[in-house]
Structure 1
Amino acid sequence: MGLFTVSEARAVLDELKPVLDEIVTLRADAAELAASLGPGGRATALGGLPEWKAAQAKLDELMSTVQQTGAELKGFAPLLIDFPADLGDVPVLLCWLEGDAGLDWYHRVDLGFAGRRPLR
């Protein structure tokens, strides 16, 4: 996929918000189900092994949905989504981290998350 403008990336992020919300919910459900299946695990109202497998399959599907937009899913817990872009002549990744209200950050490709700066 190509590069995003800031407005294109924000529009895609807005479209992805329900998918991202579902990932967060399923991630928690899958973690709880996995814990219940281990030694000394507690029963959960969420179910058992079949429900855990279903949650994993749905998570894979939702993560593929994110990737198909051209966005890069860089982190799962917390969710970290990057959108390849150029600011001026500099290759950057427009960066959304779970909990961010919107797409308001970027970092140079060569610096990674440690170089994260606010968009102006």
Structure 2
Amino acid sequence: MDRTFTVDEARALLPSIMADAAELIAARADLAEIAFDREHSGTSPLGGLAEIKAIEARMEEILSRWNGHGLEVKGIAPVLLDFPASFDGVPVYLCWIEGETSLSWFHRADLGFPGRRRLP
């Protein structure tokens, strides 16, 4: 873990993370629709290769920004992000998944998502 967050630091960053996540989710849906349309009818009302490349570039920009903040991106469908942290010297991740409206969960670094617990 290069950077560790306090709960307050992670929560302060969450509004911008959620705004980026909303954009990433829309881009993810657009890519799925374009791919489906192109496969089944050859074209898509959402565009073609140029639009695909632009959407992918925007998604990569968001993911790079999250990585630059020190977050670990665990998935994009659904969006799953971990904020490295430490509780009493034990490495943990503050965990946020698409659809949650707050940062309320953590798990030990060695347990992953199945070990999620509510923040005290």
TM value normalised by structure 1: 0.92
CA RMSD of aligned residues (A): 1.3
Which structure 2 residues correspond to residues 45-56 of structure 1 after superposition, within 5 A? 45-56=45-56
Q: Distance in 2 between matches of 1:77 and 1:41?
A: 25
Q: Distance in 2 between matches of 1:37 and 1:15?
A: 33
Q: Distance in 2 between matches of 1:16 and 1:78?
A: 14
- The amino acid across from 1:95 in the alignment is C
The secondary structure found in structure 2 opposite 1:68 is helix
Specify the alignment match of 1:117 in structure 2.
Answer: 117
Q: How many residues align?
A: 119
Specify the alignment match of 1:22 in structure 2.
Answer: 23
Specify the alignment match of 1:71 in structure 2.
Answer: 71
Q: Distance in 1 between matches of 2:7 and 2:49?
A: 42
2:71·2:84 contact (CA, 8 Å) conserved in 1? Answer: yes
Which structure 2 residues correspond to residues 1-120 of structure 1 after superposition, within 5 A? 1-38=2-39, 40-41=40-41, 43-120=43-120
TM-superposed deviation, 1:109:
0.5
Give ranges in structure 1 of 5+ residues lacking alignment. Answer: none
- The amino acid across from 1:48 in the alignment is G
Q: Distance in 2 between matches of 1:41 and 1:3?
A: 48
Give ranges in structure 2 of 5+ residues lacking alignment. Answer: none
The secondary structure found in structure 2 opposite 1:83 is strand
Q: Distance in 1 between matches of 2:110 and 2:62?
A: 28
CA-to-aligned-CA distance 1:55-113 (integer Å, 9 cap, x gap) = 11111111111111111111110000000001122110000010111110000001110
Aligned-residue identity in percent: 47
Q: Distance in 2 between matches of 1:42 and 1:82?
A: 38
Q: Distance in 1 between matches of 2:42 and 2:104?
A: 41
